[in-house]
Amino acid sequence: MRIAVVSSDGKNVDLHLGRGKSIYVYDCVDDASFVERRDIEIAEDAKHQGGKVIKACSDCDVLIAVQYGFKSKIKAEDQGLKLVMDEGPIDEVLERYINHVNFMKN
């Protein structure tokens, strides 16, 4: 499973999806393995930019951000991408999500 997180510093999930100038991508099975950082051109004063972030995650299964809007949810679903809201240190956010997925499988 490939998971992208929206982060301003590469350490914390700390941004709204539409403000995600950078996303950090991880391959996750039992634990998380860092793949790459992707930079996205986000205009500081524009609204509804979640589509740019979603497009940059076309090869991901899950995208985690602090918050996202309704339009982004629809765009993500159309692309087959699951949006999740969470915040905190990236390693803890990924661990929570992986544990949740494993719990739901059992």
Nearest alpha-carbon partner for 80 in 60, 52, 95: 60
Domain assignments of the chain as residue spans, ordered by start: 2-105
C-alpha to C-alpha distance for 35 and 99, rounded to whole angstroms: 20
Would you mind telling me the total number of residues written for the chain in this entry? 106
Q: pLDDT tens, 25-69? A: 999 877 789 999 999 998 777 777 888 899 999 999 999 999 998
Question: What is the DSSP-derived secondary structure letter of residue 61?
Answer: S
Q: What is the pTM of this model?
A: 0.92
pLDDT for residue 86: 97
Q: pLDDT tens, 9-24? A: 999 999 989 888 999 9
C-alpha to C-alpha distance for 40 and 1, rounded to whole angstroms: 22
pLDDT for residue 20: 86
Statement: residue 93 has pLDDT above 80: yes
- CATH number of the structural domain 2-105: 3.30.420.130
